Amino acid sequence: MYLVYEKTIKAQKVWVENEWICIRLEDDREIRFPAAKNRRLAKATPEQLANVELICDGTGLHWEALDEDLSVIGILEGRLGN
C-alpha cells in the first residue's frame, strides 16, 4: 500500500489590480491571472470583481455575488473556470 502526500498550497491574500486577480501564497510567491480568462469574472463589474474572499483555509477563492469559486491549486494548474 502506498500513501500519497500532496502539499496543500494556500493563499494568504487575494486582491484585484486592473482586472487581474492577484494571489499571494503562504510561501510569499505571487501569482496573477486576467479576469477575462474566466467567463463569470469577465462579465463582472469592478465592484463585484473586487469582492473576493479566501475560503477553505486559504485553498480557494470565492465571489459570492458571481457564484464563482476557484481553487488555488487549480489556478496554478491553469484551470481558471469556464
- The model's pTM is 0.88
Q: E strands within the chain?
A: 11-17, 20-25, 30-34, 53-55, 60-63, 68-71
Q: What is the pLDDT of residues 6-64, one digit of tens each?
A: 568 999 999 999 999 999 999 999 999 999 999 999 999 999 999 999 999 999 999 99
Would the pLDDT of 5 be above 70?
no
Q: Going by CATH, does the domain composed of 11-76 fall within 3.20.20.150?
A: no
